[in-house]
Structure 1
Amino acid sequence: MAKFKIAVIALAGAGLIAGTYAWLGNQPAAVAQSSDSAAVVQSEEKVVIATVNGENIYRAEFEDAYAQLPPQAQQMGAEAIYPLLLERMVDEKLIGVAASKAVPADDPDVEKQMATLRERIVMQIFFEREIEAKLTDEVLQQRYEQWKEANPSASEVSARHILLETEEKAKEVLAEVQGGKEFAEAAKEYSTGPSGPSGGDLGFFTQDQMVAPFAEAAFAMQPGDISAAPVKTDFGWHIIKVEDRRQQPQPSLDDLRDQLTQEATQEIAAEMMVGFREGAEIVTFDIDGNPIPEPEETPVVEGEQPAEGQAPAAEGEQSAEQ
């Protein structure tokens, strides 16, 4: 009986709205159809989109139901999903009317589940209010500063390079560049790398984004410097020119607001639970309701090290050999 009740509740609740997406997979995309005779506009907030036995379904209800759909379903767009979701809302209204006639509001099963739901809502509101009071803008700003200190911005270099297959060819091209040939033009003419057509431009990069020999050479140079000798990597021989240096921009507080808020919320909730436990008398039992016996202490044999987590013997009980 209990399993049957759970199944019915699941059907009448989440199944009618969230379950719409599962059904949509086999349906063609549709465009919402509407007419002046189908919708009665009472006000901007009271647009009627359907009536079921004289009871109205409002556009605001559709918007709420649409907001609860999975992101994949919402990607279809409100217009495409409108006729499908509206049918589900009509079904929900019909089931609701039938259920209210068959199951009175004071039914014991209803009252039991409502009591459980009410308790959970009260706890949720309590936590939300406590966290909101503690999670101020000043706290978020402080956590942001701590995040920046723990995640310092990395140095970046902007560089061009000319990639060549042999050291001999690399030295020839380097001599041309040192003799006054424009670096970007030399890259376009000689480089075998994919950046050659763009003058060897690699843009900004951090040291860990490049192979070690290349990165070490580039980050040892200053803007305007050209490598004194070709640099060997697994890709070939590189002539490097550093264009610019900078510190990698750090994300703003707005960029990290959701992350910092979530982390702070979890910490505040955990601290609250620690406080609740410290001021409470808690006794637990095993699955059968029997007291849980205290773990027995293993005696320490003279001369042996105590087991992990066990206190050492008192001074007067130490081995004579010590």
Structure 2
Amino acid sequence: MKKAILCAAALSLLLSLGCGKKEDKVVAKVGDRTITIGEFEKAAEAMEEKYLPAAADLAGKKALLEIMIDKEVMAIKALTAGYDKEKGFVNFWERYKGQYLVAAMENELVVKKVTVTDAEIKNYFDKMHNEYSLSQIVLADENEARAVREQLLGGADFAEMARKYSLSPDAGDGGFIGPSNIGEMFHWIEEALFSMKEGDVSQPLATSTGYALIKVHRVRTITPDKDLEWAGRRLRAIKEKQLLMELKKRIEKEVGLVIYKDAVDIVYSNLPPDIDFGDIVEGRVTYENAPKLEVPEQYHQMLMAQFADSSYTIKDYMRIYETIALPDRPRRERGKEHVVESIHRRLWDHVLPTYVQEKLKIQNVPEVAKGLEEKREMFLVYSLYNDQVGKEVVVSDPEIRQYYDEHQAELLTQEQRDFGVILVGSKDKAEEVARLAKRGDNWAKLAVKYSEDPSVKDNGGRIGLFPRGRYVDYDATVFSLRKGEISEPVQVPRGWAIVTVFEIKAPEAVSFENAAQSIRTKLSEERSEKILKEKLKNWRKGIDIAIDEGNLNKASLKRTRPAAPPGAAQ
């Protein structure tokens, strides 16, 4: 059945289009707007598969281009109709703009600045062979951290000082963290450990919530369960976090942030009992019946935090607490540090958007300015669509039932396969394992002995029952095997794999209860498609639209819509 692509694709396109230098040959003009080859190719790369054309020929390119033209027409219509001036949109956009610019600041000043060399990756991977037994003391203020460290160097007992001063939930255990591996700890701890030996106490280490002192009890050599590729991803993430933390610390100093420990202590001591996360998920605990933060009135005017020309009292914080999402509210089990963390989050939510606009002026970066305008148009198109199309679409329960009864034979689950994988580092070893498996050796024992993937080892080399698409590196092999068959060695991104299939679960009929929502979505999309097509005919009137097929033919279309997998529900 024909896919409803216009209504959703024209909208989703704006979500994925980014910014950057583009080829400037024009493939289409829409009023006074243009669509270039670069923009076309970027849209093709970013578009969801289900909205792509089936072929990469000129007809397929024109189909994709028509979606882009529809988006431009809708943006013109939204602006002409004044959606950008509506109070609700203006208020929403001011809030969103701040969030977007904060993300843009991180991209421009953090992500783009980070580089990772092969030598650095190898060095980090080598250090992943060390396990450290540690204790920590976490404090909100750098000066306090330095004072505590002086006492420790003077002979004070680390565990006693942790019990007395630390904000961390392990304070009651003398700050003892236990054994931890490089690759599993906060990056600021790892960086300090690289130059420490047993018995050392670190300098105050800047964390996301304050400052930490770390003591090394013991170091031993281990074999890491992650590979070199993982180490590279981890190292890049660490560098980005470090740069972002330095940036935030600098901003906090500029705005003069001070968090008062005595007030944190009082708030923490009056936190309500921790809410069970299961009760939140199941809806048994809501904003209405969740336990409140109640602090004796005598402390209400006590300063908790101060920055720039603003401050929070404990009474202010009690109001802030009520606005925090239930899963994110400070918890007793996470210690006083969690209260401090919530203050930092509040600061960033309210101070950072203004700071990046007024101080950093990130909106003046050309790529950021263009991306911001694209996002603005995206939301304008959504507003137009919801107002002009979405409100007119209604699908009734009887219609859903009727569709199910008429198409029940077509509504099937995907075929699933219960399969196993043994992953090794070389083709020679893979061939040896395949030979042993084919002669009848126990699969689970082979996995334990040979597999270099620890997560699979624990399950005897068994991945589980999954449809096509969940493990794309193995799909072609898994869905080509018969039950019980052992594959030849297959090269995958992480090494060489031998695959077997334990069970094959054939497609099954979908119950009405499980199919109802997807049917409602399908019927809604079809009706939205029909309504939008009619409206677009009217909206296109008076707008000059021209397509340059010569330039369009020069554009690359590397992705097309894949065929539906066998057994997929229609």
Common topology (TM > 0.5): no
* Higher RCO (C-alpha 8 Å, min separation 6): 2
Larger radius of gyration: 1
TM band (smaller chain): 0.3 to 0.5
TM-score, normalising length: structure 2:
0.23
- The answer to which structure has the higher helix fraction is 2
